[in-house]
Amino acid sequence: MVNNLKVYSLVVDKQGTRLDKYVSEQYPDLSRTQTQKLIGDGYIKVNDRVAKAGLKLNVGDRLTISLPPATPSSLLPEAIPLNIIYEDDDLLVIDKPAGLTVHPAPGHPSHTLLNAILSQVKIPRRLD
């Protein structure tokens, strides 16, 4: 780990694949959108150089992938009434009211379905 970054290295074994696609295939936990953002922010380099997501890779190219630490969530529970149709350990079915934003986004930082769920459902804490 360098400066709280997890750093991974790999050598390309497939000719002509786009950088973003190749990284997403090699690290399935990263979506293509996340990969593109990491590339755009300079966290993924090809042969020690900043590259573009659409770069066509060559066999033998060296990739360096630096993953920054996750940003802590600032989501807060809000007491918003929900009509929960069904709930078990793996599934939650909600009759979402019209007009209720699903998750925080620009212009809707709170009062969302996600805030309501956090106040009504006990979410197990993940242990890494």
| Residue 113 host element (H or E) | helix 113-120
Which stretches of 21-91 are assigned E, i.e. beta strand?
A: 44-46, 49-50, 62-67, 83-87
- Chain centroid to CA 93: 23
Q: Which domains does the chain have, with CATH numbers?
A: 6-67 (3.10.290.10), 83-120 (no CATH)
Torsion, Cα of 50, 48, 25, 3 (10° steps): -90
How would residue 128 be classed by pLDDT, with cut points 50, 70 and 90?
A: very low
The predicted model scores a pTM of 0.60
How would residue 107 be classed by pLDDT, with cut points 50, 70 and 90?
A: confident
Q: Exposed (0-12), middle (13-18) or buried (19+): which is 92, by Cβ within 10 Å?
A: middle
Each residue's pLDDT tens digit, 12-24: 999 999 999 999 9
124: pLDDT strictly greater than 80: no
- Chain centroid to CA 35: 9
